Amino acid sequence: MQDASTSPMPAAAAPLLGIDLGTTNSLIAVWQDGQAQLIANALGDVLTPSVVSVDDDGSILVGKAAKARLTTHPLRSAAAFKRFMGSDKRFELGEHRFTPEELSALVLGALKQDAEAYLGCPVSEAVISVPAYFSDEQRKRTVFAAELAGLKVQRLINEPTAAAMAYGLHEQKFERTLVFDLGGGTFDVTVLEYALPLIEVHASTGDNYLGGEDFTDALLLACLRDWGLKLEQLEPQALASLHDAIDQFKHALGEGQWTLTWQGDGQAREWQLDELKLQGIWAPLLARVRAPIEQALRDARLSPKELDSLVLVGGATRMPQVQQLVAKLFGRLPYRHLDPDTIVALGAASQAACKARDAAIDELILTDVCPYTLGIASQRGEQSAGAFSPIIERNTVIPTSRVERFYSTHPEQKTVRIAVYQGERPWVRDNILVDSFEVPLQPTGQIQSLDVRFSYDINGLLEVDVTFIETGLKHSHSIDRSPTGLDQDARQASHERLSRLKIHPRDALPNRTLLARLERAWMQSLGDERELIGSWLDTFNGVLAGQQAGEISRQRQQLSQALDELRY
């Protein structure tokens, strides 16, 4: 598996694409010449930051340029919006207001442009990865984001499963593996078994609100606490600057003692941190890692000793403290030879090839599981209304069809309300409502029995069939795949809102990205270094005004290298 930033693919070949839509970074890969290969963006990078910003001229920036503007223009930029997929949260960027799926669509659109530039042909379909523990609603919103970007989702694949697929094709081994996937915003654990051509998922669980961003936020709050400051005391730009500095600080942490130096609110500040203090700050987060691991092993009916290997996925697994915890829990070191940042995209592209029955991979069989329990609201006894009755238990292999019998509550009852929930709590009030509908009932003067059947497919589409035993009447209901709360008018409004946006030209993005980096570096520097970066900014603006492509390219390369050396 290799980088596909060169040697354009023949236009006649069918583009088999896989996308990792991540909280921090997103990637796109293509199945080509019998293997999955990563596609580089306009800057030559395979990682595209999942960040969107509105430029000063009103155009939309996506990726590295937008990430740099998080510090300089925090009120016109947004990141980590994947964490809010499926919610009603709105992001205000200047004069624009976006939903999480609209921002995700802009990232997907940028990846789509990169793929089309490389392939030399239009792109319309892809396999997209999602966290294993994403809810039904979050999966539907992901499909809608792809629709807004002009992409049809061939299949949604769970991120750990995609990683396992890429790993299995690479290793060609027969073994039991645990995939530990800690990304920027979500945490998933999947236990699976390789017996190629079969890859069988046994259990999958996780935490949708635990990721690298939480480790950064914990450091940020601890730093402010030591300085005697509160979040609300900092101006948005100062807070964004400190968050950026803390994030860079986190990536540099190893062993020993560290010092953070920051200038952002009118005075220079330092923060001292040692290993013992760091452990105390991150202890609550690291403790949350244990429960999903224990549940996945319990559901798979395996002990840690029965595992043959561990695979780390997601950029947050690069943190030494996370690697130490994993090694301690399992008594062994995880595999590190595959890039945790790129393995999900490669696996998604491999799944796309499977779906298209590519000759190089058509023997591979992948099974997956439903990671959460699905059931309905019911009544247990006279005083137990609102109980949760499971029909499909978590970690059931999919596709699957399960049926349970229920009874009406009154002899003259005229309707039955079927309320579908997902979750692991005994009462529906503590679980997530997926959908509800009413079924007419013919009064018979007796309590009636009814069978409720759930049929769940590999994309997370749930079919509900209700059969009344005494009368033989049947009612079928498909869970609506359109986002909850969005009727056709609202969906159309999202399409129109995005179609009116001015997207920054892809071929000009390297120049705009360098300008954003220079502006951020100037903001973060002081004294002679700030003066030097200011001169570079003036020089590059002058070169851009000259409109000489060769000189612009030469200056861009030199200044990018200079910023890299200064670690900006």
Q: Can you list the alpha helix ranges (DSSP code H) found in 331-401? A: 343-355
Contact 60, 23 (CB under 8 A): no
> One-letter amino acid identity for 61?
L
Annotated active-site residue 159? The verdict is yes
- Token pair in block for residue 132: 């294993």
Active-site hit among 101, 114, 136, 181: 181
Q: Where are the beta strands (DSSP E) in 25-151?
A: 25-32, 35-38, 48-49, 51-54, 60-62, 77-79, 91-93, 96-98, 125-130
**Cα separation, 484 vs 434, whole angstroms:** 9
389 phi and psi angles, rounded to 5 deg = -110, 105
Cβ count within 10 A of residue 384 = 11
Question: Is the CB of residue 213 less than 8 Å from the CB of residue 320?
Answer: no
Structure token digits, residue 456: 């769940």
Clarify whether 181 is annotated catalytic. yes
The residue annotated as part of the active site, out of 55, 159, 214, 299, is 159
Give one word for 485, left, alpha or beta, with left for phi > 0 and alpha for psi -120 to 50: left
Q: Per this entry, what is the length of the chain?
A: 568
Contact 94, 147 (CB under 8 A): no
Helix axes 509-524, 549-565, angle to 10 degrees: 40
Using DSSP, state whether 359 is helix, strand or coil.
coil
**Tokens 């030494």 sit at which residue?**
320
- Identify the helix (H) or strand (E) that includes residue 167: helix 159-171
For 62, residues 6+ apart whose C-beta sits below 8 A from its C-beta are 48, 51, 52, 53, 106, 107, 109, 110, 503, 504
Structural tokens at position 125? 């379909």
Active-site residue (options: 67, 82, 140, 250): 82
Spatial contact of 61 and 504, defined as CB atoms under 8 Å apart: yes
Distance from C-alpha of 132 to C-alpha of 368, rounded to nearest angstrom? 10
Going by C-beta distance under 8 Å and a sequence separation of 6 or more, which residues neighbour residue 291? 207
Q: Which residues are catalytic?
A: 20, 82, 159, 181
